[in-house]
């Protein structure tokens, strides 16, 4: 059975297009990286997630519900369900003409929690540099309603019940080498600095306003 026929059996989960053209983040994130990252890496997580849940009760659950009970699920569901969700979220954290400064109530809360937007950026960058191996950096709204920076290994995320910290994701940065290696090789710091040229805070603002 090919991927297309497998995918078509599921109406609940769909593989998203990039919300912008693959070359639109250049020169900060190059077209080839975006094409491979979305078309190969993200697609493989999606396909393998569908295989992992096929014929199980998880087929009828939302990703949020699966993550809330992730310790009961097989590793393939964690890794591929996480990879599917995390990239869906990450693409919407980027846009060449996006909201470059977190405005409104979120902006105020960032200033109150971190001192300034620049301080939050440094916190996110430091967290990305400190993440050994592969993972994601997150700004979350934690269960007590506070903003917090955290990182997760592999394709884990802050919605997974057994993470060290949990909460609602507002912003994500993919720090897997596949996110930057073609353009930046081992220079993760340069990639993290470049990220803020193409960041889009509009998704974060929208989630924060509704929370
Ligand atoms: Mn990735």
pLDDT category at 1 given cuts 50, 70, 90 is: very low
Q: How far is the CA of 205 from the centre of ligand 1 (A)?
A: 23
Task: Indicate the pLDDT class of residue 9, thresholds 50, 70 and 90.
Answer: very low
Query: Confidence band (pLDDT; 50, 70, 90) for 204?
Result: very high
* Contact criterion met (CB below 8 Å) for 45 and 53: no
End-to-end CA gap in the chain: 41
How far apart are the C-alpha atoms of 110 and 139, rounded to whole Å?
A: 10
Per-residue DSSP letters for 29-85?
A: S-HHHHHHIIIIIIHHHHHHHHHHHTTSGGGGS-HHHHHHTGGGS-HHHHHHHHHHH
How much distance in Å is there from the Cα of 135 to the middle of ligand 1?
8
The one-character DSSP state at 144 is: T
148 half-sphere exposure, CB direction, 13 A CA radius: 15
Q: Which residues surround ligand 1, an ion (CB under 5 A)?
A: 174, 176, 179
**Per-residue pLDDT for 6 more than 90?**
no
| pLDDT at residue 7, rounded to an integer | 44
pLDDT score at 2: 36
CA 165–ligand 1 middle distance (angstroms):
21
Give me ligand 1 centre to Cα 112, in Å.
31
* Tens digits of residue pLDDT in 87-125: 999 999 999 999 999 999 999 999 999 999 999 999 999
Q: What is the pLDDT, as a whole number, of residue 74? A: 96
Query: Domains of the chain by range and CATH?
Result: 30-211 (3.55.40.20)
């Amino acid at each position: 059975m090919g991927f297309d026929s497998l995918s078509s059996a599921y109406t609940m989960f769909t593989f998203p297009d990039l919300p912008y053209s693959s070359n639109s983040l250049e020169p900060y994130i190059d077209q080839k990286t975006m094409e491979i990252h979305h078309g190969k890496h993200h697609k493989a997580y999606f396909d393998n997630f569908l295989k992992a849940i096929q014929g199980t009760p998880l087929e009828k659950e939302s990703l949020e519900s699966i993550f809330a009970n992730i310790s009961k699920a097989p590793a393939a569901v964690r890794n591929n369900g996480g990879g599917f969700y995390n990239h869906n979220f990450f693409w919407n954290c980027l846009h060449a003409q996006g909201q470059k400064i977190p405005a409104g109530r979120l902006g105020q809360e960032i200033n109150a929690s971190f001192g300034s937007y620049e301080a939050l950026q440094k916190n996110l960058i430091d967290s990305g540099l400190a993440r050994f191996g592969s993972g994601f950096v997150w700004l979350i709204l934690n269960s007590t309603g506070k903003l917090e920076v955290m990182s997760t290994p592999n394709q884990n995320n802050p919605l997974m019940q057994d993470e060290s910290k949990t909460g609602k994701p507002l912003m994500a940065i993919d720090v897997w080498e596949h996110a930057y290696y073609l353009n930046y090789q081992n220079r993760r710091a340069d990639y993290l600095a470049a990220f803020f040229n193409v960041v889009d805070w509009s998704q974060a603002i929208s989630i924060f306003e509704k929370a």
